[in-house]
A = this chain, B = another copy of it.
Amino acid sequence: MSQAALAVETGEPFMTSAVVVEMLKQLRALDTYDTYEGWSDEKIIDPLVMTKERKREIPIIGDPDEITLARIKAYYNSIASLIEKRAGKMAVPVINITHEGFGRAFVLVGKLIVVDKTLRDVHRFGFPSLEDLSTKTEAVIEKAVALIEQYKEVAEA
C-alpha cells in the first residue's frame, strides 16, 4: 500500500463485524515479518477494500504477490475459523493458487466440502466495502453451517 488515503474511516461500523474482527486476527497471525506493527486495525484491513478506483489502478492481468496471497489465506482461515466456532466442528481451509493467480479454495469439515470457490484475478482480491466483505462472507459461513446441519453424518465422518 502506498501512503494514499484509507478507504476505511475511523468509526466505520463494519470494523466490529465478526468477519472483520476475525480477519484482523488472522492477518496479524500471518504477519511473520511484523509489517503491521504499529498499524491501526483500519490500516491493516484497508487493502481488502477494493474500490472501483483502486481496481482501475491495478493491471487486469498480473501475478499475485506474497502479501496478496497472505490476505487470501487469512480470508479463508477466517471463514474456516468462524465455521468452526459456529458449528463446533473442525474446519480446514485448503487453497490452491497457480503462479498466474488462478485457483480454488475449499473449506473441509469431516468428509464434507462446505466452501468451494473458484479463484480468479487473485492479484485484485478484495471487496467493494467492509459492509460487502462482511455480508458476503457471512452468507458463505451461513451456507456452510447449514450444509453441516444437513449432512451431519458426513461432516462427522
Residues of A at under 8 Å CB distance from B? 94-96, 104, 106, 108, 110-114, 116, 147, 151, 153-154, 157
In the complex, what residues of B have CB within 8 A of residue A94's CB? 94, 96, 104, 106
Smallest CB gap from A113: residue in B: B111
| Cross-interface CB contact of A113 among B96, B113, B153, cutoff 8 Å | B113
8 extra interface residue pairs, beta carbon distance < 8 Å, beyond A94-B104, A112-B154, A151-B157 = A95-B96, A96-B96, A108-B113, A111-B112, A111-B116, A111-B147, A111-B151, A112-B113
| A116, A154, A157 pick with most chain B CB within 10 angstroms | A154
In the complex, what residues of B have CB within 8 A of residue A151's CB? 111, 151, 153-154, 157
